[in-house]
Amino acid sequence: MGDYEIRALTPGTWPAYAALIEKHHGIFGGCWDTYFHSLERDPDRTYDSNRDLKCRLVEEGRAHAAVVFEGETAVGWCQYGSPEELPNIHHRKQYLAEADVVPDYRLTCIFVDRDHRRQGVTELAIRGALDLIAEAGGGVVEGYPHEKPTKKVSSSFLYNATRPVYERMGFEYVRPKGLKNCVMRTTVAPR
């Protein structure tokens, strides 16, 4: 395992974060990690407009992530934020109909560079997000991982890790969400 360090996504870390996204062609069809920021689906959004949107959100302090660095190179991240900041989640109607609490924070997208997968970067990114949440005052945190796949799935499709990863980190299973995802929850104390 490499020597990794967690840094918050800020205008100062934006260039390294953007370089990682560019290396992976904008990730997930050019989304630039913007999918969960808006309920609106604009058919005219492009790779460039998504990049501009994400950059603007970072500059305005409305996009948060724990970015994993190896030296000065970003190799992964865990996006987090309040439900207001990240209103869009998969299976949203079902989620809202069955919600018992509104979390203070959501973990919505975890991405690891293809050259650093299977090296513990996912867990480092999640732990980094939980540490940054603790520094911001803590609260109830939800993640929406995939249930453990029954057949081999490319890790590039597991945008929010798997249930066993969250279980190892102390999250509690709450309920299913859709056919292949679930709601997991933990409470982070303020630091």
Cβ atoms of 166 and 107 closer than 8 Å? no
For 4-188, which CATH superfamily applies? Gcn5-related N-acetyltransferase (GNAT) (3.40.630.30)
pLDDT digit string (tens) for 62-114? Answer: 999 999 999 999 999 999 999 999 999 989 999 999 999 999 999 999 999 98
**Residue 162 to residues 144, 147, 187, Cα–Cα distance (Å):** 9, 6, 19
Q: Which residue has the higher pLDDT, 22 or 115?
A: 22
* Contact present, 74 and 2 (Cβ < 8 Å): no
Q: What is the structure's pLDDT at 60? A: 97
Mean pLDDT across the chain: 91
pLDDT confidence tier of residue 151, bands split at 50, 70 and 90 = low
Write the burial class of residue 65 (CB in 10 Å: 0-12 exposed, 13-18 middle, 19+ buried): buried
Q: What is the rounded distance in angstroms from the CA atom of residue 90 to the CA atom of residue 124?
A: 24
Mean pLDDT check: name the lowest of 28-37, 80-89, 138-147, 169-178: 28-37
Q: How far is CA 116 from CA 9, 44, 106, 113, 166, in A?
A: 19, 33, 24, 5, 19
The per-residue pLDDT for 158 is: 56
Nearest-angstrom CA–CA distance, 179 and 147: 9
128: nearest Cα among 174, 59, 74, 87? 74
Predicted local distance difference test score (pLDDT) of residue 17: 97
- pTM, 2 dp: 0.92
Phi, psi of 144 (to 5 degrees): -130, 65
Dist CA 79 CA 9 (whole Å): 9
What is the per-residue pLDDT across 18-69, written as a single tens digit (0 to 9) for each?
A: 999 999 998 878 889 999 998 877 778 888 999 999 999 999 999 999 999 9
pLDDT at 157 over 70: no
Q: With contact defined as beta carbons under 8 Å apart, do 76 and 112 qualify?
A: yes
Q: What is the pLDDT of residue 149?
A: 59
Q: How far is the C-alpha of 168 from the C-alpha of 157, rounded, in Å?
A: 20
